[in-house]
Amino acid sequence: MPHHDQDADPATAGLHGSLVALVTPLTPAREVATGEVASLVTRALDDGASGVLVAGSTGEGALLEPAQRVVLVEQARAALDERRREAAAGSPSPVLIAGACAPTVDGLHADVARLGASGADLVLVLAPSTYPLTSDELLRLHLDVGERSATPTLVYHIPQLTGSALEPEAVRTLAAQTQVVGMKDSSPDAERRAAFVDAAAAADGGFEVVTGHAPTLRAALEAGVVGSITAIANVRQRTVVRLHEAVAAGDDEAAATHQNSLTRVTEGLGRVGTSMPAALKAAMQLDGVLVERWCRPPLSSVPPDRLDRVRSALLR
């Protein structure tokens, strides 16, 4: 397992551990429910998160207006700053990551700049996905975005949704420069993810790999990813933290137990018959965490006749 020095690079120190890929709370008018963002951030930190991601795919970032992504960053930044003021001196500062997206390269540059200026510590960059990109095209795009950004960026690698996949050699090139500081690999391909970790370690440039795929989280941690940014942490953050701790301690039995629990809940929510953001919001509403379970069109919210499927998934 590659060794990572958590103090080596302040830009990526907050990626270590479990971060929550937050859902976006919405009003009936499908605007950001600003009063609920801070409570979600605080809840994540109370449950052991080392930071949060807003406006990622779980947060319906690609369906939000650019101004709405900015509102999310500003609200989350205020909540994290309040937590920082209350924390004991010397405590690690939780990290704020914001998801950037746009259908064009110029639009993507503009979104990255807006989110960084609004308070994001790191910007997670989703490449335009109308056309599947080659690994070389993805590489050039992320190098260009990183070079022009005043805020450190992360590659968002989710080929099962975008149709575009990076090769390990491209990750080696990314890892050799300084502005693109890491990647979130949300693919289910554990073998390729391990190759990404090896490529990043070989470059020895402080480039970090985290995972966003909960069913292979244990394998990813054992392969050497430094952290996770998962959707399932919205409802099972403490279990995710326990899995991190079990792998770090070499406790195979506990690791298997926690991984099986996360996989069962993830699979159960996947059988609700809606998008994962919709299923998660319904679960959080049932738990009293969210007031409403609205999603941004064209995503539909979980209808009342499927809420029992959500309840069943939470019991798994």
DSSP assignment string, 74-139:
HHHHHHHHHHHHHSPTTPPPPEEEEEE--SSHHHHHHHHHHHHHTT-SEEEEPPP-SSPPPHHHHH
pLDDT band at 226 (very low <50, low <70, confident <90, very high): very high
Residue 4 pLDDT exceeds 60: no
Most confident of the ranges 14-18, 117-121, 127-131: 117-121
Residue 291 pLDDT exceeds 80: yes
Mean pLDDT within 134-155: 97
d(CA 278, CA 160): 19
Output the six-digit token pair for 61: 């970032």
SS3 35: helix
* pLDDT over 70 percentage in the chain: 96
List helix spans (H) across the chain.
34-46, 66-86, 105-117, 135-148, 159-162, 168-175, 190-203, 217-223, 233-249, 252-270, 276-286, 307-314
Mean pLDDT within 247-264: 98
Structural domain boundaries of the chain? 13-251
SS3 182: strand
Distances in Å between the Cα of 256 and the Cα atoms of 241, 243, 259, 261 are 13, 8, 5, 9
d(CA 196, CA 185): 9
Minimum mean pLDDT range among 12-16, 228-232, 270-274: 12-16
**pLDDT for the residue numbered 2:** 42
Minimum mean pLDDT range among 8-17, 138-147, 257-266: 8-17
CA–chain centroid gap for 283, Å, is: 19
| pLDDT averaged over every residue in the chain | 94
| CB-count exposure of residue 2 (10 Å: 0-12, 13-18, 19+) | middle
Distances in Å between the Cα of 200 and the Cα atoms of 13, 196, 197, 206, 279 are 16, 6, 5, 8, 34
pLDDT band at 204 (very low <50, low <70, confident <90, very high): confident
SS3 188: coil
**pLDDT for the residue numbered 9:** 64
Q: What is the pTM of this model?
A: 0.95
Write down the CATH number for the domain with range 13-251.
3.20.20.70
Residue 181 has phi, psi (to 5 degrees) of -100, 0
Residue type, 68: Q
